[in-house]
Amino acid sequence: MKFTLRFLAILALAIATTSLAQEDNSVSTAELFSSMISGNNGQGNAADFQNSAPRPDWGNPIFGEQMITVTHGAVILQRQHDNDSLLPLNSMAGLELDAILHLREMNLEFGWLGVFSGTTTQYLPAFAGGNLPTTPPIIFGSDGLLATQYSSDLNSFEFNARLPASESLTGIIGLRYINVYETVHLTTSTVTDNLGWKTVTNNNLFGAQAGADMALSRIGRFQINAIGKAGVYVNCVEQEGMLVAFPAPGAISIHDSNAKVAFLGELKLLGTYRFTDYLAVSAGYQALWFSNLALGQNQFAAVDFVTGNGIHATASPIFHGATIQAVVSW
């Protein structure tokens, strides 16, 4: 019995000694992670875990190196159209804002362009026997002065996916909404006639577009890009206004609307100088060409005072001019 108790005591002491030895050689959680990250099979320590290089696949799986690029600048455009000699417009100044969300496979872009002419006033002689080409024509009975106030506004909103095809070429596909809003206020006073006429034309274009952004040249921090886009749109166009003329035809309200297929082509040629990875400045030339728009000055010949309607919606103006922008990325 004594021998048995002595044997059990020796066995218990041996087990306790082995357990203490294992506890002295244990590996902490930080050491274990350090070994996994650094590839070191040794014990490692907490400092190794904090300072070790991250695994390559620990990068953000959604965003690229830069997440957002914002471009903001000013534009000065001139509108050119066949009838602009009748009612010429001053240059149209405005703003442009673009924001790009950088993803690994593509970029998402939102853009806004707004240009406003303010009000342009023109004075033309009204000669006796002359007329406004309406149906029926409004004839001036005596000499006088014809005053016109003209304004034109353009707003464009677009949402695009930009798909890199190569280092120098990026494809563009997206949706766009454009509004072209114009007003004409015409007044004349002669010995025998008084005339006041205001007409408003409103173009709402909805459609899809496609294009490309190509880097033409790179010299150090300077780069030249050509950006082209084209789209097909449904143009919901409307004209409304009021004519008050004495002695004839009196007071008449005019209203008409239509829907047409329209086209828009846009071209930009930009030079960009990048000061840092996060700041750049761009400047260049841009042009927008429309088809099937309703312009205010074209409504004279379209109005029928007998029916109180009529609309001209086949104008093809070009808006073109200079742009300068600041580009910030982060």
Task: Quick: pLDDT tens for 203-246.
Answer: 999 999 999 999 999 999 999 999 999 999 999 999 998 888 77
pLDDT at position 256, please? 94
Examine the pLDDT at 324 and tell me if it is beyond 90.
yes
pTM above 0.85, yes or no: no
Band of pLDDT at residue 9, cut at 50, 70 and 90: low
Q: For residue 253, which of 264, 266, 263, 242 has the smallest C-alpha distance?
A: 242
Q: Which is more confident, 306 or 54?
A: 306
Average pLDDT over residues 185-198: 85
CA distance 317 to 83: 10
Q: Where are the domains of the chain?
A: 1-59, 60-329
Residue pair 296/313 in contact by the 8 Å Cβ criterion: no
pLDDT at position 93, please? 93
Band of pLDDT at residue 279, cut at 50, 70 and 90: very high
Q: Which CATH number fits domain 60-329: 3.40.1000, 3.10.20, 2.40.128, 2.60.40?
A: 2.40.128
Task: Quick: pLDDT tens for 112-133.
Answer: 999 998 778 888 888 888 888 8
Q: For residue 325, which of 96, 107, 115, 109 has the smallest C-alpha distance?
A: 96
Residue pair 201/195 in contact by the 8 Å Cβ criterion: no
Average pLDDT over residues 48-57: 39
Residue pair 280/327 in contact by the 8 Å Cβ criterion: yes
Band of pLDDT at residue 12, cut at 50, 70 and 90: low
The secondary structure of 34-81, three-state, reads: HHHHHCCCCCCCHHHHHHCCCCHHHCCCCEEEEEEEEEEEEEEEEEEC
- Long-range contacts, 181-184 (Cβ 8 Å, 24+): 181/152, 181/153, 181/154, 181/155, 182/150, 182/151, 182/152, 182/153, 182/294, 182/295, 182/296, 183/149, 183/150, 183/151, 183/296, 184/87, 184/148, 184/149, 184/150, 184/296, 184/297, 184/299
Amino acid symbol at 34? S
pLDDT at position 321, please? 95
Band of pLDDT at residue 144, cut at 50, 70 and 90: confident
CA distance 93 to 78: 9
